[in-house]
Chains A and B, each alone.
Chain A
């Protein structure tokens, strides 16, 4: 019987949140389940990936169907669920499909938001957990290490994850398109909206400094200043800072625009056409739309930012096609390598076997020739070696070829029989 790699599970593509949330398991429980499932012996290797968007079992088993049922029955039992309840939502991907699926998941091509970066960390976590439980063997180890490498390759060679798909990150990205780096760019935050604060934090992460904050109520401004390590500015005097700042974030609840075009225009002279970027997250808007018409001033309100996000999502989908092609190439390469590995141990033991025979026979022959000079001894040794190599050449080539065409196992078995090689299993 030959063990096969498989992935089985459900994801946001097949199951509603109501089902996924019932199956999701925290780490401690997961450890227990992994050990239980592995102890049955049905799966020789197993790893469980449990996130809010997917619950998947990666395993190696003789009968994937049986292994799947076992693993998910155990997962369901956790919450007192019945397997039949969600079984129709389960998918099973055997062999090469499993490899493809694993690579796609790690590269975030199967995610709800394609290209989001969290999933790679989650897969790494699941793998580390399974490793610590000692439920992974050589095949899963090889699969996952390669999946991480492929994910990295996708990240560097395509722009799958390069464009922000959240409003606050989109604002940061726009700032970068204007200013290049954000190190040393000064930021003014007007108002105490949550989103504004988040955007300001992102900018600080990118090196923006110094940060000014202002608010209609002075104590609130002081409090925000503490949170953001910023300098509070009196609300009446915020426009004084216009000459010194590069990015202004507004998120107040004011019914009327706070930032007027005329006011900004007055502040522009001292800026000598250095760019000024308004991020207006307030609804109703805090910045007069006309501000965008001023030279070197860019003003994005919440709808503009959403539009950028939409366009970024389209851009990601376009990049995803490129990434899929890359992943498929990597799958083909991986499968070929695994097949090679299938026959390598046989080739090694075949060589060892013949080498042992050769050495024994050479020694025997030399015992019968006690007066042979070193030159003759060397010649006999070389002769025997080249005979062995010539004999081995074709079988080795054939073995490698057979592995690539998927018949490696039957060939290795025949070779084992023919040459009486050891019974040890490959890859161990």
Chain B
């Protein structure tokens, strides 16, 4: 049952991506409404798919990296739907949905991994660790997208030649606020998630920081975000510098995912 639902959600996300990109190029209220509705529909089907998968497995559908990727996409869409309303940024979907689609397509292509977990991982705390980390990461998807949009808009304004994107993208101020909000949303989640993971590692393997590529890279990403946050709070960083850091932080997260998928480690699937 659940594979069909996942495929259905993915198809809807792909459709919504096409519509959102069409809206970015063509504009037109009708296209935007269609894209928005399809996104919401896709998200509901996705939610259903996750619930069904959870019931089928008898545990949260977060046991493998592939499952986790799906949850990141799910939460990222949720945050996007919220931010679109909150900040009145109608083109947000055109930037987030392609990422979600890529995530979904690769999740569909990758081997699903183990369905049975190692006995060491059968503990409620491990789910809290994963859920928090995934929520954090999906907020950083928004942080990244906001940063990219900021850099694009800033470039247009500096170059003084308004291209199509100049008209579509919101003001620098709005994008800066959006990026910052996503950062302050994601950082506590990621921090707590990583903290719980480290605690767990100590009780399970007797060491706070065993060598695990995924853990290492996620700690690196955390450092980048911690630096950005303190830079913003203390030194008043904003604008371009904050946007660059959002991109770098997201790059580190992508490396983390790559490390988790390709290198052997405790998170291995």
Q: Which residues of B contact A340 (CB under 8 A)?
A: none
Q: Which residues of B contact A174 (CB under 8 A)?
A: 157
Q: Which residues of A contact B27 (CB under 8 A)?
A: 159
Quick one: which of B158, B162, B173, B240 contacts A180, CB cutoff 8 A? B173
Per the bound structure, the CA–CA distance linking A312 and B162 in Å amounts to 8
Having A178-B172, A275-B239, A311-B162, one finds 6 other A-B pairs with CB under 8 Å, namely: A159-B167, A163-B167, A177-B171, A177-B172, A178-B171, A295-B239
Q: Identify the A interface with B (CB < 8 A).
A: 157, 159, 163, 174, 176-181, 272-275, 292, 295-296, 298, 300, 304, 307-308, 311-312, 315, 322
B238 touches A307 (CB 8 A): no
Q: Identify the B interface with A (CB < 8 A).
A: 27-29, 153, 157-158, 160-162, 166-167, 170-174, 235-241
The smallest beta-carbon distance between B168 and chain A, in angstroms, is 10
The smallest beta-carbon distance between A300 and chain B, in angstroms, is 6
Per the bound structure, the CA–CA distance linking A215 and B60 in Å amounts to 69
16 chain-A/chain-B pairs, Cβ below 8 angstroms: A177-B153, A177-B157, A178-B173, A179-B172, A180-B171, A180-B174, A272-B236, A272-B238, A273-B236, A273-B237, A273-B238, A273-B241, A304-B160, A307-B161, A308-B162, A315-B167
B29 touches A157 (CB 8 A): yes
Q: Which residues of B contact A300 (CB under 8 A)?
A: 160
Quick one: which of A177, A292, A296 contacts B240, CB cutoff 8 A? A296
The smallest beta-carbon distance between B164 and chain A, in angstroms, is 9
The smallest beta-carbon distance between B251 and chain A, in angstroms, is 22
- Give the one of A273, A298, A307 with max B CB within 10 A: A273
Residue of A nearest to B161 (CB): A307
Per the bound structure, the CA–CA distance linking A174 and B159 in Å amounts to 13
Q: Which residues of A contact B238 (CB under 8 A)?
A: 272-274
- Give the one of A174, A179, A272, A275 with max B CB within 10 A: A275
Q: Which residues of B contact A180 (CB under 8 A)?
A: 170-174
Per the bound structure, the CA–CA distance linking A312 and B161 in Å amounts to 11
Per the bound structure, the CA–CA distance linking A399 and B23 in Å amounts to 43
B157 touches A322 (CB 8 A): no
Quick one: which of B153, B161, B173 contacts A311, CB cutoff 8 A? B161
Q: Which 5 A-B pairs have the closest CB atoms?
A: A272-B236, A180-B173, A180-B171, A304-B160, A311-B162
Q: Which residues of A contact B237 (CB under 8 A)?
A: 272-273
A308 touches B153 (CB 8 A): no
Q: Which residues of A contact B157 (CB under 8 A)?
A: 174, 177-178, 298
Q: Which residues of B contact A304 (CB under 8 A)?
A: 160
Q: Which residues of A contact B28 (CB under 8 A)?
A: 322
Residue of A nearest to B153 (CB): A177
Q: Which residues of B contact A315 (CB under 8 A)?
A: 167
A307 touches B160 (CB 8 A): yes
A272 touches B235 (CB 8 A): yes
Per the bound structure, the CA–CA distance linking A157 and B172 in Å amounts to 24
B153 touches A296 (CB 8 A): no
Residue of A nearest to B235 (CB): A272
Q: Which residues of B contact A157 (CB under 8 A)?
A: 29
Residue of A nearest to B173 (CB): A180
The smallest beta-carbon distance between B245 and chain A, in angstroms, is 13
Q: Which residues of A contact B235 (CB under 8 A)?
A: 272
> When A292-B158, A308-B160 are in contact, do A177 and B166 touch as well, CB less than 8 Å?
yes
